[in-house]
Structure 1
Amino acid sequence: MWVSWRDRTHRGDGDRWLIWAVFVLVAAYTLGLLLHGTGPSPLVDIWLGELTQWVPVAVFWVAVVRTGFTRGDVLFATLAVTFNAAADTYYVLAMDAGGELPFPSPADFGYLLFYPLMLVALVALVRRQMRGLAWSVLLDSAVGALGAAAVLAAVLGPVLTEAADESAILATAVAVAYPVFDLLLVAAIAGIAAAPGLHIGPRWAFLVGGLVVFAGADVVYALLEVSGTYIVGVPLDAAWALGLALMAVWVDATDRPQRGTVVGDRKTPALFVPAVAVAAGLGVLILGTQVVQPVAAVILASLTVSLAAIPLVFRQRLLRRQARTDDLTGLPNRRALYTDAPALLTLSRTPSRQRHSALLLLDLDRFKEVNDSLGHDVGDRLLVLVSGRLAAALPPGARLARLGGDEFAILLADAGEAEATVVALGLRDALAQTFALEGLAVQTSVSIGIALFPEQGRDLSDLLRRADMAMYKAKSGRHGHHVYQSEDDSHGDTRLRTLQDLRLGLTDDQLVVYYQPKIGLQNGEVTGVEALVRWQHPTRGLLLPEDFLDLVEESGLMHTLTRIVLTKALDQAVLWHAGGHALTIAVNISASSLVNVEFPEEVVRMVNARRLPASALMLEVTEDFLMSDRDRARDVLTRLREAGIQIAVDDFGTGYSSLSYLRDLPIDELKLDRSFVLPMTHDARAASLVASTIELAHSLGLRMVAEGVESSVAYDELARYGCDHAQGFFMSRPIPALELDEWLATRHDLEPGAVN
């Protein structure tokens, strides 16, 4: 799985001053309204008042440009505040000396446009997720919306009555539109607040708070107008400015990377808003028995109580459906799969009519990288999109379920190995296409394990266990999919035991680091070492990386292992530097560590804490990472290089054929893979390829290291070709630090240029 970034980490910080300007202006405007006394003040009521309208508009338009005009919620909200500000400017310029303006006027139409445009923005904000929410959540939203509308209708009763008494049809329509739009806006806000399953982005509370303040100011203004006590220049005028400022904080956070905890995770209890709404509806109905209430308020309160009673009538059905449904994707969950499986996995008494089925277990590759680098909200949206593609790619009759995390299961009735394999290939193709997630291009792959019924399991539990073993086989071998074989069983048990031992080994200091020296081919000097991890297993002895690194990667422990290896290698570098051996230590870094945006700073802190020169550390990365995510690679490697840390490309020549990254990315060294070096002494074409690769590296200003040098002939040939450094068994195998100290001392006693 890889993610193409548009360098979001440092982008857009230059416009943050606008937010500060908004709140400074609101504070100055509020203070001016409190202090300027009776009568209008041009400085406060015109200049400061208009600035509190237009500076937030500027924040909104900056967000529109930053999101590339692709976010409907941002665009419609921006149009809403723009029309509102334009209407306010017209109002200020067109009113007479007494602060009056004919009603209705063009300003009213600008003000009124704010409401439908903002309602459309709210719909755009939540529409993609509403389809995936359970009906109970949608019902709670409706109850909350109707309850809020009932209360507001009761409060605005005098305003609606006053508006209905107007003689002119147009004036009546405009006068009624204000409270009706306020009612709709508050209802929409309450509906969103009642649906805790919605993830509407960072700083959502500022948007809701701003709209509530805005609508509240409208209600107070309407009541003051009815009583004839409103005048221009009262502190109430600052409420609209505050509402716009809060909305500006929300829009400023759109499409920005969030550092630390995401603010968008809401902690409101699931039934809090619906319960309050029902209580409010009952209050309106009870009050209506004593005081005459507007007809609209009574109708809305009745609907609130009626909708709230639906879960009681259909309680059993709703609870059963909710218990069988995955909250995020809307797919059947693990419980539903276990319930439906017996009907699908039926055995016929007649062998010739035996019903065959297949279980496919899917797991997204390196999904943890998305959560770690982009946040869990993006990971959740990716899972929703993945579930949609899986459902669309399945044949009729297949049962798809989400088991949890990034794991999905599919039951295929009347399917054998051939049919299951065809489906697996189709699913892999469907998920191979890039996902678009708000400016990010996310590409994923999947590993699929297949188990067959009844040959490999007589119930769902057996099939899941064997499909899990097959999935691990597919993931570890990078085959994409694998059908369970009997020999996989023991391998699965070994894997589980190894994983348990591995977790203990990481915390119990069982990892050790061996070092293999790099020799300068032109002078025979030891210029550096490569740190290679080993696992000193308490019962199985010393394990090489190929015995456990795939399991480390799969279990999400690679960053922990990398930190341990870096710590041990840098501690050893301190000892060597103190002893007069200024060796550069190279450490292999996996792609899963490099996707962590904080990784470069973490490495720099580790080096600085030991007072080592940054050049004492070299990080080795693979071509796969450099090519699959060029933007991310450039960002990470540039930050490391700017700190003085060296970069090497490991296993050069075995990855992608494109060499353009050598020109674009900050790289110091290439390590030619042993598959090119080993045949060099007896294959003229291989030797020619090595020589030309060395020449290519030098022409780009890069050093070349040859790996896998196992004979004096290869050593001499590489020196003749002009290769800079060599590494291999001919000079030294990877050995512990103490043995390397002895090896270095022995070499020091030999004549200059000696190899052994």
Structure 2
Amino acid sequence: MGDEAMMRARVDAVLVWTMGLCAAAYLGGVVWQGGESHPAVDLWLSLSTSWLPAVVCWLAVARAVSRRREVLLAALAMTFLAVGDTYYAPLTSDWSPSFPNPGDLGYMLFYLLMLVMLVLLVRRDVRGQSRSVWLDCAVGSLGAAAVLAVVLNPVMASALAGSWSLATAVAVAYPLMDMFLMAAVTGIVVVRGFRGGDRLVVLILGLMLYTLADIVYALQVTTDTYVLGTPLDALWAIGIALIALYVHGSAHRTVSKVSDLPAPTRAAALIMSGLATLAGLGVLVMGTRTYVSSLAVVLAGATVFAAAARTQVAFRQILRMADLRRQATSDHLTGLPNRRALYAQAGARMGDPVSERYALLLMDLDRFKEVNDSLGHQAGDRLLIQVGGRLSEQLRSGDLLVRLGGDEFALLLDGAGAEQATAVAAKLCAALAEPFALDDVAVHSAVSIGFALFPGDGHDLDTLLRKADVAMYKAKASGDGFHAYGGGDDTDFTTQLRTVDELRAALTSGQFVLHYQPKINLPAGDVHDVEALVRWNHPTRGLLYPDAFLTLVEEAGLMRALTRVVLHIALDQAAVWLAEGRNLTVAVNLSASSMIDTDLPDEVAAMLTARHLPPGVLKFEITEEFLMADRDRARDILTRLRLHGVQISIDDFGTGYSSLSYLRDLPIDELKLDRSFVTPMVDDARAAALVASTIGLAHSLGMRMVAEGVESAGAYDELVSLGCDQAQGYHMSRPVPADELNVWLNARGSIGELTAPARF
């Protein structure tokens, strides 16, 4: 701080201290003189207590760094007040000013300027306050005004006793100004509140002391009991000094905003609002027993009306808070409790691990993503709603069913051990196995359930959720529907997570390879087609077959990526064979989740074009499951694939849905008869009859028939005699790498025209 700044600070301090000492001296003087007037006290000390605060305020105007308009208004108000006091000061023993006079104008301007300053002072701090806060303000202000209207009624009645004149107007204006000022102060306290160190307390206290002195003075004048030079006169001086002290301090710092105030100050504001309401009611009750002015009754009625409006707003806020609390603990889609509700209730229930038992079941819908992808997210939402309703029907009293998110649900069974949890899990699996109706499509769903027990498997919800999650993935991997958490499951789950990470790495590091199994044309024995089957060349576990990883690929959402990898490898090999003069069609067997990808036809077309491959070099083998789940979607995707020359084969024919109408409606080139029909047909006449009729069905529809799983010469010869188009199986060749297949083909010396399949 520089010398000049230090000097200004010293001047400020001296002036403020002088103002305070003068106010204290004046208080001591009026007490000392005992009601007798003395010029040194009633004139000079009195005037110094009026003018020194004005000087302090003008000094604040010159030094103000914030709230300059408010400080200027305060300085003007204090100056007009000092002028009024000076005009009324007993400068001579026979001085008796008329009424009204210029001094009254100074007092009126003081009131008006202070009211404007209060409005500006609070406006910035309360901007954006809620309606309830403003209603609290109205209640507080009106209640204070109603009480003052009762107290000041004698003054008002006396002023209005004579004929109407300027003197009457000024006489009435004084009590009204006191009412306005006190109402404004009360409203500020209600709206803004206070906190420790808030300088606004100084201003509020100063205004209240000044108004209190005014009220007592008016009542004494009305009863002709006022005496100059009593402690009452000192209340004005102290009030003015406190106002000036606030103005001086606020000019040098930013005043705290209401948003910075702690919550307890709002509670204090509510208390003041409640007291104001009681005051208004008290005035109305008083009016039934004694005379109360019309102004007081009107103000009290307005107070009660504002309080009623505030109560209505509070009631709506309570309802809204209750609704928000309900929403915070409810799932917006299914209406079931949500994860937050589970934590709240489980924490309350699991307080006594000795006497209470609970089972936590974690449920995850199988292949829910396929419903979203094939039928749309709205259909998926409707499925979740139906699932929630169906699960709710299985609840017992005291059980808690929640939706955790996505297609995951949790069920907290009250008083249940392993036996009860197993029975409930089986019942839930059976309930969800029944088909759901979505957009006239029968959707078959299934659920995987894992459960953990309290307190045996854990003493808190987080532990139970983790272990139930582990058990749920165990159930999903095994296909058993449900699984109880066991000690070794953590190790299995960790291995599963590690395998998923390895799968992600394998997709980008060339660890997947294809083995090819030829399809033999009957009866000639030449080869036009091969089926590609994916293998994982694991860096530490060796060559893994699809049953070791495809389920994890599906669950981890990696099927689309794996499909692209397989297609790239298969088409690259087809291009190599084509360059070598081997006209082979490669068949790739796609899962239902891959076939619902609407981008697949365009991506396949781009792959074929990039390799300059002719139409017919690629064939897709798909299952009946996809065709029956969404006929319209299947027709669209298969038609688009056919436009790009891709052939369509139905894999595992005969093991899916009984309806054959899709054979008529969809663009299908080939049927692959499942091995379960081929293997027994040599020794089973009925099996042979089924194979023969299926071959006839395919030919009658203009389709080729391929028999897979041919593992004996007898089955091969039987297929030839029945007119089957192609045979595939270990009897001819196992799936082998491309190089080994080339050796096998060279040894046979029979490579034909384009047509061939690929599978994983």
TM-score, normalization by structure 1:
0.54
Q: Distance in 2 between matches of 1:348 and 1:411?
A: 15
1:602 aligns with 2:603: yes
Name the structure 1 match of 2:346: 341
1:616 aligns with 2:640: no
1:717 aligns with 2:718: yes
Q: How many angstroms does 1:573 deviate by?
A: 0.9
How do residues 92-107 of structure 1 correspond to structure 2 at under 5 angstroms?
A: none
Identical-residue share of aligned pairs (%): 61
Q: Distance in 1 between matches of 2:357 and 2:504?
A: 39
Q: Is the 8 A contact 1:326 1:332 kept in 2?
A: yes
Q: Distance in 1 between matches of 2:440 and 2:719?
A: 47
Counterparts in 2 of 1:506 and 1:332: CA distance versus 1, 3 Å: same
How do residues 116-265 of structure 1 correspond to structure 2 at under 5 angstroms?
A: none
Q: How many angstroms does 1:719 deviate by?
A: 1.6
Q: Distance in 1 between matches of 2:507 and 2:745?
A: 30
Q: Is the 8 A contact 2:435 2:443 kept in 1?
A: yes
Q: Distance in 1 between matches of 2:549 and 2:557?
A: 13
Q: Distance in 2 between matches of 1:303 and 1:614?
A: 79
How do residues 345-384 of structure 1 correspond to structure 2 at under 5 angstroms?
A: 345=350, 347=352, 349=354, 354-376=355-377, 379-380=380-381, 382-384=383-385
Q: Secondary structure at the match of 2:648?
A: strand
1:679 aligns with 2:680: yes
- 1:602-643 C-alpha deviation (Å, 9 max, x unpaired): 323322332222311110011222233333333332332343
Q: Distance in 1 between matches of 2:378 and 2:560?
A: 21
Q: Is the 8 A contact 1:361 1:448 kept in 2?
A: yes
Q: How many angstroms does 1:658 deviate by?
A: 3.3
Q: Distance in 1 between matches of 2:668 and 2:332?
A: 46
Counterparts in 2 of 1:479 and 1:613: CA distance versus 1, 3 Å: same
Q: Is the 8 A contact 2:375 2:630 kept in 1?
A: no
Q: Is the 8 A contact 1:469 1:489 kept in 2?
A: yes
Name the structure 1 match of 2:451: 450
Q: Is the 8 A contact 2:654 2:673 kept in 1?
A: yes
Return the letter of the residue paired with 2:627.
L
Return the letter of the residue paired with 2:600.
F
Q: How many angstroms does 1:542 deviate by?
A: 1.0
Q: Distance in 2 between matches of 1:617 and 1:527?
A: 12
Q: How many angstroms does 1:585 deviate by?
A: 0.6
Counterparts in 2 of 1:638 and 1:471: CA distance versus 1, 3 Å: same
Q: Distance in 2 between matches of 1:312 and 1:580?
A: 81
Q: Distance in 1 between matches of 2:318 and 2:567?
A: 59
Q: Distance in 1 between matches of 2:629 and 2:492?
A: 31
Q: Secondary structure at the match of 2:616?
A: helix
* Farther-moved stretch of structure 1 (422-431 vs 585-594): 422-431
Q: Is the 8 A contact 1:474 1:481 kept in 2?
A: yes
- 1:393-429 C-alpha deviation (Å, 9 max, x unpaired): 4222111222232211110011234433443344445
Return the letter of the residue paired with 1:593.
S
Return the letter of the residue paired with 1:513.
L
Return the letter of the residue paired with 1:601.
D
Q: Distance in 2 between matches of 1:308 and 1:606?
A: 66
Counterparts in 2 of 1:312 and 1:341: CA distance versus 1, 3 Å: closer
Name the structure 2 match of 1:281: none
1:700 aligns with 2:697: no
Counterparts in 2 of 1:444 and 1:305: CA distance versus 1, 3 Å: farther
Name the structure 2 match of 1:154: none
Number of positions where the alignment pairs a residue of Structure 1 with one of Structure 2: 449
Counterparts in 2 of 1:648 and 1:440: CA distance versus 1, 3 Å: closer
Q: Secondary structure at the match of 2:593?
A: helix
- 1:689-720 C-alpha deviation (Å, 9 max, x unpaired): 33333233223322111112223332222222
- 1:105-143 C-alpha deviation (Å, 9 max, x unpaired): xxxxxxxxxxxxxxxxxxxxxxxxxxxxxxxxxxxxx99
Return the letter of the residue paired with 2:348.
A
Name the structure 2 match of 1:666: 667
Name the structure 1 match of 2:504: 503
**Structure 1: segments with no counterpart, 5+ residues:** 1-141, 144-298, 752-756
Name the structure 1 match of 2:413: 412
- 1:484-533 C-alpha deviation (Å, 9 max, x unpaired): 34554433222111111111111222211111111112111111111111
Q: Secondary structure at the match of 1:614?
A: coil
1:471 aligns with 2:472: yes
Q: Distance in 1 between matches of 2:586 and 2:577?
A: 10
Counterparts in 2 of 1:684 and 1:444: CA distance versus 1, 3 Å: closer
Q: How many angstroms does 1:335 deviate by?
A: 3.9
Name the structure 2 match of 1:574: 575
* Farther-moved stretch of structure 1 (371-380 vs 574-583): 371-380
Counterparts in 2 of 1:586 and 1:483: CA distance versus 1, 3 Å: same
Counterparts in 2 of 1:489 and 1:582: CA distance versus 1, 3 Å: same
- 1:220-256 C-alpha deviation (Å, 9 max, x unpaired): xxxxxxxxxxxxxxxxxxxxxxxxxxxxxxxxxxxxx
- 1:262-289 C-alpha deviation (Å, 9 max, x unpaired): xxxxxxxxxxxxxxxxxxxxxxxxxxxx
Q: How many angstroms does 1:558 deviate by?
A: 1.0
Counterparts in 2 of 1:424 and 1:631: CA distance versus 1, 3 Å: farther
Q: Distance in 2 between matches of 1:322 and 1:663?
A: 50
How do residues 541-556 of structure 1 correspond to structure 2 at under 5 angstroms?
A: 541-556=542-557
Return the letter of the residue paired with 2:417.
G
Q: Distance in 2 between matches of 1:458 and 1:653?
A: 51
Counterparts in 2 of 1:675 and 1:485: CA distance versus 1, 3 Å: farther
Counterparts in 2 of 1:645 and 1:324: CA distance versus 1, 3 Å: same
- 1:450-505 C-alpha deviation (Å, 9 max, x unpaired): 33333444433333233223322332343333333455443322211111111111
Counterparts in 2 of 1:304 and 1:448: CA distance versus 1, 3 Å: farther
Q: Is the 8 A contact 2:528 2:751 kept in 1?
A: no
Q: Is the 8 A contact 1:390 1:427 kept in 2?
A: yes
Q: How many angstroms does 1:332 deviate by?
A: 3.5
Name the structure 1 match of 2:734: 733
Return the letter of the residue paired with 1:476.
A
**Structure 2: segments with no counterpart, 5+ residues:** 1-129, 132-304, 753-760
Q: Is the 8 A contact 2:383 2:436 kept in 1?
A: yes
1:514 aligns with 2:515: yes
Counterparts in 2 of 1:680 and 1:313: CA distance versus 1, 3 Å: closer
TM-score, normalization by structure 2:
0.53
Q: Secondary structure at the match of 1:522?
A: coil
Name the structure 2 match of 1:167: none
- 1:71-90 C-alpha deviation (Å, 9 max, x unpaired): xxxxxxxxxxxxxxxxxxxx
Q: Is the 8 A contact 1:529 1:585 kept in 2?
A: yes
Q: Distance in 1 between matches of 2:594 and 2:672?
A: 20
Return the letter of the residue paired with 2:729.
G
- 1:315-363 C-alpha deviation (Å, 9 max, x unpaired): 7x888766545455554433432343243345564xxxx5332111111
1:492 aligns with 2:497: no
Q: How many angstroms does 1:578 deviate by?
A: 1.6
Counterparts in 2 of 1:581 and 1:322: CA distance versus 1, 3 Å: same
Name the structure 1 match of 2:541: 540
Name the structure 2 match of 1:634: 635
Q: Distance in 1 between matches of 2:627 and 2:528?
A: 26
Q: Distance in 2 between matches of 1:386 and 1:682?
A: 46
Q: Distance in 2 between matches of 1:303 and 1:517?
A: 85
Q: Distance in 2 between matches of 1:343 and 1:579?
A: 73
Q: Is the 8 A contact 1:311 1:318 kept in 2?
A: no
How do residues 48-127 of structure 1 correspond to structure 2 at under 5 angstroms?
A: none
Name the structure 1 match of 2:744: 743
Return the letter of the residue paired with 1:647.
I
Q: Is the 8 A contact 2:449 2:472 kept in 1?
A: yes
Q: Is the 8 A contact 2:709 2:730 kept in 1?
A: yes
Q: Distance in 2 between matches of 1:699 and 1:514?
A: 33
Q: Distance in 1 between matches of 2:375 and 2:687?
A: 43
Q: Distance in 1 between matches of 2:682 and 2:738?
A: 31
CA RMSD of aligned residues (A): 3.5
